[in-house]
Chains A and B, each alone.
Chain A
Amino acid sequence: MNILVCVKRVPDTGAKLRLTEDERAVDTRRLGFTISPHEECAVEEAVQIIEREGGEGVVLTLGPAEAEEQLRDSLARGMDRAILLEIDGEDWDPQRTAEAIVESVRREAASGHQYDLIIFGNESADSGGYQIGVRVAHALDLPCVTGVKGIDIRGGVLQARREIAAGWEVYEVQMPVVLTTKEGLNLPRYPSLRGTMGAKKKPFSRSSPSHSEGDLRLQRVLHPADQGKEVEILGEGPAAAPRVVELLEKLGLLE
């Protein structure tokens, strides 16, 4: 079973978002970087499937040279090989990003690497476009199930479960297939020391796709209007309990 997982490097923003002076991005000068939890689950799922069934797990990103960090992290968690589609400057729009990923998959296929499964996050952590996986699936003429929180593979048929208001719905599809996943699919492992050491020696390829402008063009990012709450401190330590209970009474929560 050969599996491709696509991840995106995003700032680990914590409690406060600062913007760059040109107001086109988050100021990342004092931030670490990560990938979306949805994508972490995609990586974990790929590693688990390959542990069971054998095969190769490839992790891909389109991003700056520094995105090597996120790819190495996925290698440390058990993926076998990484592909960096290196770009400089700003994020590409979803159409162009999908095209670059499709081109890479086609190049891989031409050199004998076919994927049985291609996994994306349901949405990217920062931009949340909800579309790159679906675009790639159509370009490759593959079926696509989005928002997946449960996967079961038997004899070339993949069962994908997804959560709906009424419970779960199940889709059965013939592989190869494209999936987009949501956190909750599994509990991702932390990379082991051995994994981290090993990741440095795993195959890593770089190429630079060429860019053209897309039809969704970011102009500016801005903060939403602040609700501006003024906190009322009810007290310190256990001594605050009576005042909290008064509050519960006031809110009508003790009936």
Chain B
Amino acid sequence: MILGIIEHDRGVIEATSLQMLTLGRGLAEQTGTSLEAALIGDDAASLEETIKPFGMAAIHRVTHPQLDDYAPAAWAEAVVQLGRARGAQAILAAGSDRGNEVLAHVAAKTGLAMAANCAQVEAGDVYRVLRLRWGSSLLEEAELSGEIKLLSVAPHTVEATEARCDTVTVEDFEPTLSEADLRVKVTRRDETASSGVTLKTARVVVGGGRGVGSAEGFAVLEELAAVLGGIVGGSRVATNNGWRPHTNQVGLTGTRIAPQLYIACGISGAIQHLVGCKGAKHILVINTDREAPFFSKADYGVIGDLHEVVPALVAEVKKRG
């Protein structure tokens, strides 16, 4: 059978786990076996109904007095024991922070290979996987062998679709955990009050890069963001020079954004920046250099100095408002 680890944070599930189940169901069909899911911790019980439509034959409620909050090595130990007990041929997780983390612990505990961020999987004695590299700028075809195949599913590469099984059995499983598995467990949380518009959720993002030239140079970008109800972001050059905090960084090692419109000012369009704004509906690039690579990934462009173009834009918007 194929075992899927459902990622949740205190009972809150992300779409990526449903995408993972969909890929897992396909894999189960390919290999003529069934899909089963592991729900770890008491607070996951509420998720049974959410995941049932995605086609698993069994749900394993994994509980233990010490599994009252997230503990990566303990989650992994539970998955290893469950996977062995059920004779899993593959174990899947979402390619998210926690999904990749738990699976890496499973890999480390068992000595098995793990393929992170797979977009496609072809089963067989040896699995053939297509996985993301460079944060999705490149793809890699790889072979994965080992007694149990460990795969994480790249977020948003598979569309979650329902296909309910006629019967879904629900079973309890209690793993045996050691002290060592519980050395790392959430001790405390600091929940920041969500302060309105964030880079992830903004409708408009105004990004600035090296072309902005200084921290002060961002004032006009702030102004444009303000009149459009948006938020300012930046390239790594802007954050690395200390012009903007790292929380503003768009890209591979920053935030992935998905606004209606991304206005990129003085940013060249390096691949590590582009992977961060792939989710934008529309992209407008403002750059002095017509040959800047960003133009070939944009919907709209203005050729010119951002220090002139952006203030003119602010004035024009105000005039219409």
Contacts and interface: CB of A to CB of B under 8 A. Distances in A.
Q: Indicate, yes or no, whether A interacts with B.
A: yes
Interface of A: 13-17, 26, 36-38, 93-95, 98, 123, 125-131, 134-135, 137-139, 141, 143-147, 159, 161-162, 164-174, 182-184, 187-188, 214-224, 227, 229, 231-242, 244-245, 247-249, 251-254
Contacts of A130: 100-101, 103-104, 116-117, 152
B212 interface: no
B85 interface: no
A38 B252 CA distance: 10
Contacts of A218: 140-142
Interface residues of B, number: 93
Given A171-B185, A219-B142, A220-B140, A138 B312 contact: no
Contacts, number: 260
B64 to A, nearest CB: 19
Given A15-B268, A217-B142, A217-B143, A137 B108 contact: yes
Interface of B: 9, 70, 72-73, 97, 100-101, 103-105, 107-109, 111-117, 128, 132-146, 152, 180, 183-192, 203-204, 228, 236, 240, 242, 246-247, 249, 252-254, 260-261, 268-272, 282, 284-285, 293-305, 308-309, 311-313, 315-317, 320-321
B136 A216 contact: no
B270 A14 contact: yes
Nearest to B321: A254
A40 to B, nearest CB: 9
A183 B313 contact: no
A183 B254 contact: yes
B81 to A, nearest CB: 16
Given A145-B184, A222-B138, A241-B313, A231 B114 contact: no
A147 B300 contact: no
B296 A231 contact: yes
A233 B108 contact: no
Nearest to A238: B312
A130 B115 CA distance: 9
A131 B108 contact: yes
Contacts of A247: 284, 300
A188 B239 CA distance: 11
B186 A170 contact: yes
Contacts of B298: 229, 231
- Interface majority SS (helix, strand, loop, mixed), chain A: mixed
B313 A164 contact: no
Given A187-B242, A234-B301, A237-B308, 19 more contacts: A123-B100, A125-B252, A127-B133, A127-B140, A128-B117, A131-B104, A141-B180, A143-B184, A147-B101, A216-B143, A231-B298, A231-B299, A233-B301, A236-B303, A240-B302, A244-B284, A245-B320, A253-B260, A254-B228
Contacts of A144: 72-73, 105, 184
A16 B296 CA distance: 11
A238 B317 contact: no
Contacts of B294: 15
A216 B107 CA distance: 12
Contact of A244 (B105, B236, B302): B302
Contacts of A146: 72, 97, 101, 104
A241 B315 contact: yes
A240 B296 contact: no
A244 to B, nearest CB: 6
Nearest to A219: B141
B116 A129 contact: yes
B134 A216 contact: no
A113 B206 CA distance: 49
A170 B132 contact: no
Contact of A125 (B100, B134, B188): B134
